[in-house]
């Protein structure tokens, strides 16, 4: 019997430092019937017992989490080092290490963090994870860099049927359906950390599926996973990623309980190319779980967020703290990162490189640590009314934790020769419940009717300026003058209550091509709708994660759903408002991993106007006459083709991640991925609402049948690791007799998926 010490993972990591050099020996024996495989009986016992392991056994618990994230630039050669971009920065190569292949690996980023975790399972499940210390090499004020690092990783549970990497589902080797994906082979019985374990080697039956290869070490007494390695295959098709390697180690504080002890994941990232010697970024995250305590007294107040926990000053600790907090001391290379970054921060050329990345990622260029210029991606647009449109904007930005923000923009159309603008300010009074007040105003040309559950915020992007090319002539644009005040508060975590007061006037921006005329309550013909309304919105984001505590937060990439319940009350005669009305709306959005079959996105919306209103205030089933991809719109509908007092819509889109194409010999080499989607809408429009509008009112609701459209897309189009283009093919299912009905259409756009 072979004895493995508690430092098994550390030693294994050192030997397997170069990700591409690790080779997993193939499973040598195949079984015609899985029940003949000795590993099958062992895995059956694991499946039976898997829910008996872990923190959920205890009423209450606490533990500490030490996290370390490190980035290294890999496969650097002399030609790369001599590039002009490194002029006056060549001292950084003094901190580089030689890799096994003779190239250099340069450490460029290190983030350390300590979290305190508490939890309760009875009478109701509550969890709290508090960041108590953080140290970042040179990027304390660069939220974009730090967030990018943290977004690469997800929490891993080896017992889940599907393991989430980059919001992509990989089949777990401990999945109940694992034998349909993997070959297993019982290879030995070993001693690990003083207990006897089975060693089971596994590998996928097909190399091009989203699965792993590696080894499982399973307790012979309790059939729990003690250690595991998970390595991606060479043919894995994930954008920007050449390889994944994860090591897991679990502790056994008693004969029945197994808890996370150490996780380590190394990612080999490359934006353009794959290959053993490709210039890449090696990103490694290691997490150590210590100081477990159980059955401790916890009250409801312990789970509430305290204002002191939201002050970034408390995260800064001295060197003596970190020496005690680290489960393993930093090696010489890791210590050199802090020294190197201190020198880099004083180098103007490096500061320019970092600022360029920040600008590309956020869309804003910071000036003097006070003002952001942008959004640079909204500078140019084109529409039928304005022609070529230029938009320039900015916002105050002193740090990522600002309690207040003032932002605005100005735009000019070269065809209508009109200046447009928008400005908004907001202030957060309390970091714990995020109580915020704000106000703003804008005058702009907008494409209304492209979103059902609308955003009352002034700074939301105008759809009119986002499309350069479109299907057919779009003249259905509106001129909107709007003023808004709002208050928002989070009484619970990830739950927001927001109240808006809005005063607006809406008229056609092109009266010859788009008629918004209506009859007021006295029968007079009017061109401009005056509207005053109050809106109450309840917004829930269970499971969402955010960074920082300022008035604007950065959201981490998760599979959290979004639920919105919204009530709007129109106030007739207030500031000359023309109509009083009541509107209720609901929206649900959820991304979902469907095992090894990919990921689905579901969006459902429903609403009702309880009172008749003119077209400018009606619910419009969102169309899309552009050739661009636009989420939650109907590709084959013209703008304003369907208008409804009451409506229900649904969008279901599934990404197969190349599952089907992988069975086609020639196509699978292109690494394309398939998408399928279906969209549906139903609604009704009352005669009273029709009569408000002028004679010749041509709009109708999809009330005869449920309108639907369907299609498929091909994504992951590109070269090397840079595969960000997608093309959709859309078919209209019914209402083909409608004037100018589009039966088939093609949409395309960029899509930044892994």
Find, among 591, 576, 550, 552, the residue nearest to 403 by Cα: 550
Spatial separation of the C-alpha atoms in residues 662 and 668, rounded to whole Å: 5
- Higher-scoring residue by pLDDT: 337, 534: 534
Average pLDDT over residues 147-157: 77
Find, among 696, 674, 697, the residue nearest to 685 by Cα: 697
User: Which pLDDT value is given to residue 8?
Assistant: 37
- 138 phi-psi bin (left φ>0, alpha ψ -120 to 50, beta other): left
**Greatest C-alpha distance within the chain:** 95
438 — phi, psi (to 5°)?
Answer: -155, 160
User: Which pLDDT value is given to residue 701?
Assistant: 94
- The per-residue pLDDT for range 312-325, each reduced to its tens digit, is 777 788 888 888 88
Banded model confidence at residue 11, pLDDT cuts 50, 70, 90 = very low
Banded model confidence at residue 275, pLDDT cuts 50, 70, 90 = low
Average pLDDT over residues 483-491: 96
> Residue-wise over 503-529: b if at least 16 C-beta within 10 A, else e?
bbbbbbbbeeebbbbbeeeeeeebebb
Q: Where are the beta strands (DSSP E) in 509-639?
A: 518-519, 525-526, 529-540, 546-547, 554-555, 562-570, 581-593, 599-609, 619-620
Find, among 662, 647, 741, 663, the residue nearest to 702 by Cα: 647
- Higher-scoring residue by pLDDT: 354, 552: 552
The highest-confidence range among 140-149, 555-564, 606-615, by mean pLDDT, is: 606-615
- The per-residue pLDDT for range 370-391, each reduced to its tens digit, is 899 988 888 988 888 888 999 9
- Higher-scoring residue by pLDDT: 456, 204: 204
- The per-residue pLDDT for range 100-124, each reduced to its tens digit, is 555 666 777 888 889 999 999 988 8
Lowest mean pLDDT among 87-91, 533-537, 571-575: 87-91
- The per-residue pLDDT for range 583-593, each reduced to its tens digit, is 999 999 999 98
β-pair partners for 209: none
Length of the chain, please? Answer: 754
Sign, CA dihedral 699-701-706-710, equals: positive
Banded model confidence at residue 513, pLDDT cuts 50, 70, 90 = confident
For the cut 90, the answer to whether the pLDDT of residue 607 exceeds it is yes
Banded model confidence at residue 534, pLDDT cuts 50, 70, 90 = very high
For the cut 70, the answer to whether the pLDDT of residue 51 exceeds it is no
Spatial separation of the C-alpha atoms in residues 651 and 629, rounded to whole Å: 14
User: Which residues are CB-contacts of 375 (< 8 A; sequence separation ≥ 6)?
Assistant: 363, 364, 393
> Residue-wise over 59-80: b if at least 16 C-beta within 10 A, else e?
ebbbbbbbbbbbbbbbbbeeeb
pTM for this structure? 0.84
User: Which pLDDT value is given to residue 10?
Assistant: 40
User: Which residues are CB-contacts of 176 (< 8 A; sequence separation ≥ 6)?
Assistant: 47, 161
Total Cβ atoms within 10 A of residue 234: 13
Banded model confidence at residue 52, pLDDT cuts 50, 70, 90 = low
Burial of 585 (0-12, 13-18, 19+ CB in 10 A): buried
- The per-residue pLDDT for range 425-443, each reduced to its tens digit, is 999 999 889 999 999 999 9
CA 310, distance to chain mean position in Å, is 23
For the cut 70, the answer to whether the pLDDT of residue 539 exceeds it is yes
Average pLDDT over residues 77-84: 62
Find, among 210, 263, 213, the residue nearest to 241 by Cα: 210
Question: Mapping DSSP to helix (H, G, I), strand (E, B) and coil, where does residue 105 land?
Answer: strand
For the cut 90, the answer to whether the pLDDT of residue 351 exceeds it is no
Q: Give the containing element (helix H, strand E) for 27.
A: none
Q: What is the mean pLDDT of the chain?
A: 83
Question: Mapping DSSP to helix (H, G, I), strand (E, B) and coil, where does residue 312 land?
Answer: helix
Spatial separation of the C-alpha atoms in residues 189 and 449, rounded to whole Å: 65
What is the set of domains in the chain, with CATH numbers? 2-290+299-344 (no CATH), 363-750 (2.40.160.50)
Question: Mapping DSSP to helix (H, G, I), strand (E, B) and coil, where does residue 374 land?
Answer: strand
Radius of gyration in angstroms for the set of CA atoms belonging to the chain, rounded to a whole number: 29
Spatial separation of the C-alpha atoms in residues 37 and 35, rounded to whole Å: 5
- 157 phi-psi bin (left φ>0, alpha ψ -120 to 50, beta other): beta
For the cut 50, the answer to whether the pLDDT of residue 420 exceeds it is yes
Sign, CA dihedral 699-690-479-487, equals: negative
- Higher-scoring residue by pLDDT: 13, 73: 73
Lowest mean pLDDT among 93-97, 341-345, 728-732: 93-97
637 — phi, psi (to 5°)?
Answer: -95, 140
DSSP 238: B
């Amino acid at each position: 019997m072979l004895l493995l010490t508690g430092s098994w993972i550390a030693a294994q990591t050192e030997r397997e430092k170069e990700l591409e050099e690790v080779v997993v020996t193939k499973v040598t024996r195949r079984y015609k019937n899985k029940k003949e495989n000795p590993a099958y009986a062992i895995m059956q016992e694991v499946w039976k017992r898997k829910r008996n392991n872990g923190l959920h056994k205890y009423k209450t618990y606490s533990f500490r989490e030490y996290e370390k994230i490190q980035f290294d630039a890999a496969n650097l050669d002399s030609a790369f080092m001599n590039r002009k971009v490194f002029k006056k920065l060549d001292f950084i190569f003094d901190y580089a290490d030689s890799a096994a292949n003779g190239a250099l690996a340069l450490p460029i980023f290190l983030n350390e963090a300590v979290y305190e975790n508490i939890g309760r399972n009875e009478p109701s499940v509550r969890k709290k994870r508090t960041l108590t210390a953080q140290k970042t090499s040179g990027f304390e004020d660069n939220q974009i860099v730090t967030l990018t690092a943290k977004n690469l990783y997800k929490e891993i549970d080896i017992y889940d049927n599907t393991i989430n990497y980059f919001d992509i589902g990989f089949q777990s080797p401990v999945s109940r359906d694992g034998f349909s994906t993997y070959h297993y082979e019982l290879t030995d019985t070993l001693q690990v950390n003083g207990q006897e374990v089975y060693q089971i080697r596994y590998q996928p039956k097909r190399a091009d599926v989203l699965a792993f290869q590696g080894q499982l070490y399973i307790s012979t007494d309790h059939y729990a996973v003690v250690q595991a390695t998970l390595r991606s295959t060479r043919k894995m098709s994930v954008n920007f990623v050449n390889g994944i390697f994860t090591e897991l180690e679990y502790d056994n504080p008693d004969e029945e309980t197994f808890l996370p002890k150490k996780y380590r994941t190394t990612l080999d990232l490359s934006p353009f190319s794959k290959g053993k010697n490709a210039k890449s970024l090696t990103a490694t995250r290691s997490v150590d779980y210590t100081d477990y305590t159980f059955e401790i007294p916890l009250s409801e107040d312990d789970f509430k967020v305290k204002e002191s926990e939201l002050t970034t000053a408390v995260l800064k600790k001295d060197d003596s703290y970190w020496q005690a907090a680290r489960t393993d001391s930093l090696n010489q290379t890791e210590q050199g990162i802090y020294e190197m970054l201190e020198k880099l921060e004083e180098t103007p050329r490096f500061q320019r490189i970092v600022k360029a990345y920040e600008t590309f990622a956020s869309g804003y260029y910071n000036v003097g640590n006070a003002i952001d210029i942008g959004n640079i991606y909204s500078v140019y647009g084109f529409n039928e009314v304005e022609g070529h449109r230029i938009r320039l904007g900015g916002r105050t930005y002193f740090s990522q934790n600002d309690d207040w923000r003032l932002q605005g923009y100005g735009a000019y159309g070269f065809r209508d020769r009109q200046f447009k603008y928008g400005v908004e300010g907001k202030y957060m009074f309390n970091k714990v419940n995020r109580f915020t007040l704000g106000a703003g105003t804008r005058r702009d040309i907008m494409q209304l009717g492209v979103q059902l559950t609308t955003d009352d915020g002034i700074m939301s992007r105008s759809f009119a300026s986002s499309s350069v090319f479109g299907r057919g002539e779009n003249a259905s644009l509106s001129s909107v003058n709007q003023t808004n005040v709002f208050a928002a508060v989070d009484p619970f975590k990830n739950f927001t209550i927001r109240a808006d007061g809005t005063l607006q006037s809406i008229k056609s921006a092109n009266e010859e091509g788009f008629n918004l005329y209506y009859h007021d309550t006295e029968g007079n013909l009017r061109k401009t709708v005056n509207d005053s309304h109050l809106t109450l919105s309840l917004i829930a984001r269970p499971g969402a994660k955010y960074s920082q505590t300022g008035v604007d937060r950065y959201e981490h990439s998760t599979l959290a759903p979004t639920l919105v319940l919204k009530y709007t009350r129109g106030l007739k005669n207030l500031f000359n408002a023309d109509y009083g009305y009541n509107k209720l709306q609901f929206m649900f959005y959820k991304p979902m991993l469907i095992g090894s079959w990919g990921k689905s996105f579901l969006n459902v919306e429903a609403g009702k106007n309880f009172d008749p209103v003119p077209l400018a205030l009606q619910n419009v089933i969102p169309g899309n006459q552009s050739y661009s991809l636009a989420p939650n719109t109907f590709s084959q509908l013209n703008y304003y083709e369907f208008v409804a007092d009451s409506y229900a819509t649904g969008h279901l889109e599934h990404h197969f991640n190349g599952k089907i194409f992988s069975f086609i010999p020639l196509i699978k080499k292109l690494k394309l991925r398939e998408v399928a989607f279906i969209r549906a809408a139903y609604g009704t429009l009352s005669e009273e609402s029709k009569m408000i509008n002028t004679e010749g009112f041509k709009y109708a609701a999809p009330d005869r049948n449920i309108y639907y459209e369907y299609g498929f897309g091909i994504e992951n189009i590109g070269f090397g690791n840079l595969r960000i283009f997608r093309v959709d093919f859309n078919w209209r299912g019914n209402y083909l007799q409608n004037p100018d009905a589009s039966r088939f259409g093609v949409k395309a756009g960029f899509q930044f998926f892994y």
